Amino acid sequence: MAGKDLSREEMDHIDRGAEIQLQIWKEQKQEILEKYYEWVIQENLWQKTVDEFLPKELQSAAESLKLVEPGKKLSRSEANHILRQMSVEGKKLVFIHINQKMMEEIIYSMYMPEWPIERWKNTYGKHRIIWPVVHMPLAEDLEPQRISAIAKLGGSKRPETAILFERIQSLEANLHRKLEQVQKQEELLAEVRAEKARIEERLSGAYDEIRKLRSQVQELKQGQKEVQLLPERKLEGLKGIIAEMREELKKRPSAQPVTQAILDEKEPIAVEDVKSALTDKVVGIIGGHRYEQTGKFPNVITASGDESSVEFENLLRKSEVLVVLTQHVSHSAMWAAKAYAIENDKPILFTKHINIPIILKEVDFTDAP
């Protein structure tokens, strides 16, 4: 796994893994060192590990733990004698003190594409580095480096092929668990999407039915008023369904956020266009943000496509005619405006234009439903 052969994505995995490993070390340092000590005792590697302690490490531990007078130099035989005389707990303290610095040097080297196994062996000894390389709790992103390092380690009590096989089995088990989690999440997402599609289909059908009922009501108003009681009850029931569906859609995340553009048109507005567009009805335009044209039309109010804002609610309430700029609002806002218009018998127009005079010319008050 030479560094030059690694992709940018693989290097990012290593960098992320090294950061996570450093955090693991900071949070679990004492626990990791104690597990290291327990493994050495269990594998009967105590004496081999002690024999690989460096003289300067033994000197530092003896002084820090006040086993010798300050400034007194220890020989290897003197250090071994002191260790033999110590209690089990004392030996554990010496072990942890000496190996802490080695563990930190190893962890800080894990950002490298290839762990420097030979350097670690030469510096600390082949027995001392077995546990950090093979058994130390490790970030998942660094497992490929561990596998490569085990293959180069050698000299362990168990054959290196057996260790590699054990690690591969562990990785396969982790991968299987991850795949199961991903599959469950995909199934849940599919269910949510299917449910949302069903709700939108019901909404669309309900709107079509309301249009038909409205047409029937208009016809009945011209004839017998008593006949319109039954369709009106059905209409009110459908409005209740619409309100419930709107509330359910609000609880679901929007599939695609819509950017609210700044709608300041720079082209000049002809005076005759302005006059012809003026009306005594309040026209509410939904979508985008505009700052220049609005002041020239006192009967026009505007709001962005954020259906959760107070501005949006005020516009719906104050307007006599609603206009939706279809290129500048979300589907959720469009449905909300459409439902409000139906429920409150207000005309509504959908347009791609953003020029106010053109929009007002499109508003047909005599034919609006």
Q: What is residue 27's predicted lDDT score, i.e. its pLDDT?
A: 93
Q: For 232-284, how does the pLDDT look when each residue is reduced to its tens digit (9 = 90+)?
A: 666 666 666 666 666 655 655 544 444 444 555 545 555 455 555 556 789 99
| pLDDT tens figures, 87-130 | 999 999 999 999 999 999 998 888 888 899 999 999 999 999 99
Rounded Cα distance, 105 and 124, in Å: 11
pTM comes to: 0.44
- Look at residues 292, 295, 293, 298 and name the one whose alpha carbon lies nearest to residue 278: 298
Question: Given strand 300-303, what is the order of strands in its sheet?
Answer: 300-303, 283-286, 321-325, 348-351
- Angstrom distance (rounded) from CA 353 to CA 108: 61
Condensed to tens digits (0 to 9), the pLDDT of residues 185-221 reads 888 888 888 888 889 888 888 888 898 888 888 888 8
Is the confidence at residue 1, as pLDDT, over 50? no
**What is the pLDDT at residue 78?**
87
What 3-state class would DSSP assign to 284? strand
Neighbours of 147 (CB within 10 A): 15
E strand or H helix that includes residue 283: strand 283-286
For the segment 282-317, what is each residue's pLDDT rounded down to a tens digit? 999 998 776 556 667 888 899 987 888 889 999 999
- pLDDT of the residue at 64: 86
Give the range with max mean pLDDT: 2-11, 51-60, 145-154: 51-60
Q: Quickly tell me which residue has 């005389």 as its tokens.
A: 85
Has residue 168 got a pLDDT over 60?
Answer: yes
**Using a CB cutoff of 8 Å and minimum separation of 24, what contacts does 38-46 make?**
39/131, 39/135, 40/95, 40/131, 43/157, 45/127, 45/130, 45/157, 46/91
Rounded to an integer, the average pLDDT of 224-229 is 56
Other C-beta atoms closer than 10 Å to the C-beta of 206 total 17
Tens digit of pLDDT for each residue in 27-66?
999 999 999 999 999 999 999 999 999 988 888 888 888 8
- Whether residue 39 contacts residue 158, with contact meaning beta carbons closer than 8 Å, is answered with no
pLDDT given at position 156: 45
Which residues, 6 or more positions from 222, have their beta carbon under 8 angstroms from its beta carbon?
Answer: none
DSSP string spanning 293-355?
A: SGGG-TTEEEE-S-TTSHHHHHHHHH-SEEEEETTSS-HHHHHHHHHHHHHTT--EEEES---
pLDDT band at 149 (very low <50, low <70, confident <90, very high): confident
The CA angle 35-61-44, to the nearest 5 degrees, is: 40
Residue 9: partners with Cβ closer than 8 Å, 6 or more residues away: none
Separation CA 69–CA 73 (nearest Å): 9
Per residue in 323-346, pLDDT (tens digit) is: 999 888 888 888 889 989 998 989
- Mapped onto helix, strand or coil, the DSSP state of residue 260 is coil
Q: How confident is the model at residue 67 (pLDDT cuts 50, 70, 90)?
A: confident
Residue written as tokens 């057996």?
Answer: 162
The per-residue pLDDT for 354 is 86
If 0-12 CB within 10 Å is exposed, 13-18 middle and 19+ buried, where does residue 124 land? buried
Residue 342 CB contacts under 8 Å (≥ 6 apart), including other chains: 207, 210, 214, 239, 242
CB contact at 8 A, 321 and 284: yes
- 314, 303 Cβ separation under 8 angstroms: yes
Question: Are 77 and 97 spatial neighbours (Cβ–Cβ below 8 Å)?
Answer: no
State the alpha helices, DSSP H only, in the chain.
Answer: 8-42, 46-51, 55-64, 76-85, 88-108, 117-124, 130-134, 143-153, 160-222, 229-251, 271-277, 310-318, 331-343, 356-362
Give buried/exposed letters for 2-18 (b at 16+ CB in 10 A, else e).
eeeeeeeeeeebbeebb
Question: Cα separation of 248 and 252, whole Å?
Answer: 7
